Structure 1
Amino acid sequence: MSTARDTAAAPRDFDFLHGDWDVLNTRRTDFLDPDSDWIRFPATSRCWNLFGGAANLDELDVPVQGWKGLTLRLFDVQSGLWSLNWSSSRSGRLFPPVLGRFGPDGRGVFLGDDTHDGKEVRVRYVWSGISATTARWEQAFSLDGERTWLSNWAMDFTRRTAD
């Protein structure tokens, strides 16, 4: 599978994610503290296509921590951008979307604004390392207008094989 993409977003950019995955999460215990500890925990994910590829849903199941997450991705035909919309069973709320696209290097960069622990944060998601059997998602926050970023969560996806 080639990871090179056109610079313009396309309604099938997330086709690589469809199916079932094992996910290794690596997360800071405090998203805003660069000295906080990292924890690791497993999860599974299932992603399916909607709107002929111009949308998809995935559900992340984290039984060791007792919660689930959901991402709704929508391709905006007019702007040519994807919106990535996250929700968790822990809060039951839909977080503000991050917007972006994949570049010619195969990396997808998506940016948005949110709050965390009462502080305004700029949020960045990056999709990389995409192949037929792997993908990586990373989240980082900026408190200083994107001058610096603090990585605080990564998910390494490995495609599940049929038993």
Structure 2
Amino acid sequence: MNAITMIEDGRGDFDFFYGHWLVRHRMLKRRGVSGADWIEFTGAAVCRGVMGGLCNVEEADMPERGLQGVAFRTFDVARRTWSIYWVSSADGRMTEPVHGRFENGEGRFYGVDLDDGRPVKVVLVWNAITADSAQWSQAFSYDEGLTWETNWLMQFTRTGAQAA
């Protein structure tokens, strides 16, 4: 390890995620309607750090859905927070970022999004993190954060060695 990765300000929060993963997805069929019908499918992901861990890039493949995506995460040293950007192969556009940090083994990242044209608040949560597994979830709020509907869950299982 070099001096950069030894700094414990949060820049190493996503180090656990470097490597190759099998992903089990569970998505609500319809969001924002209190639905209970889920779509389940598998995919794969690979993540690697860049710039000494100040950034990382995740490539996600969802062949059963005909989609790919890229998450780009950047660490703000002064604020000690992460910003996460997403690009989907469905439209090729980079989303507005979510921002947050890890505390007590859980990462929470908040932002704004559009769901079928209507503005929503969004929270992404990373938890249940071990050396070989992790969980991610996405929830939307249609009422300015009073209530949240979880609409996407991902269970990650490591399939390849951790990459530096």
Residue 30 of structure 1 aligns to which amino acid in structure 2?
R
Give, in whole Å, the separation in 2 of the partners of 1:114 and 1:27.
Answer: 17
Distance 1:136 1:9, change over 3 A: farther
Give, in whole Å, the separation in 1 of the partners of 2:58 and 2:134.
Answer: 14
Query: Match of 1:83?
Result: 83
Query: Match of 2:58?
Result: 58
Aligned sequence identity (%): 42
Distance 1:67 1:74, change over 3 A: same
Give, in whole Å, the separation in 1 of the partners of 2:80 and 2:159.
Answer: 31
Gaps of 5+ in 1: 1-7
The number of residue pairs the alignment matches comes to 154
Give, in whole Å, the separation in 2 of the partners of 1:9 and 1:78.
Answer: 9
Query: Match of 1:5?
Result: none
Distance apart, 1:33 and its partner CA: 2.1
Give, in whole Å, the separation in 1 of the partners of 2:33 and 2:47.
Answer: 31
Gaps of 5+ in 2: 1-7
Give, in whole Å, the separation in 1 of the partners of 2:32 and 2:87.
Answer: 20
Distance apart, 1:161 and its partner CA: 4.5
Q: What TM-score, normalized to structure 1? A: 0.91
Query: Match of 1:132?
Result: 131
Query: Match of 1:143?
Result: 142
Q: CA offsets, 1:104-145, max 9 Å, x none?
A: 2x0100000111111110000000000000000000000111
Q: What TM-score, normalized to structure 2? A: 0.90
Q: Is the 8 A contact 1:18 1:49 kept in 2?
A: yes
Give, in whole Å, the separation in 2 of the partners of 1:139 and 1:41.
Answer: 16
Distance 1:66 1:52, change over 3 A: same
Q: CA offsets, 1:26-73, max 9 Å, x none?
A: 001122222251010000000001111111000110111111011000
Give, in whole Å, the separation in 1 of the partners of 2:33 and 2:61.
Answer: 26
SS in 2 for 1:148: coil
Q: Is the 8 A contact 1:96 1:113 kept in 2?
A: yes
Query: Match of 2:44?
Result: 44
Q: Is the 8 A contact 1:125 1:138 kept in 2?
A: yes
Q: CA offsets, 1:49-106, max 9 Å, x none?
A: 11111110001101111110110000011221100111100111011110000012x0
SS in 1 for 2:52: helix
Query: Match of 2:96?
Result: 96
Give runs of aligned pairs for residues 116-127 of structure 1, distance below 5 A.
116-127=115-126
Give, in whole Å, the separation in 2 of the partners of 1:64 and 1:135.
Answer: 21
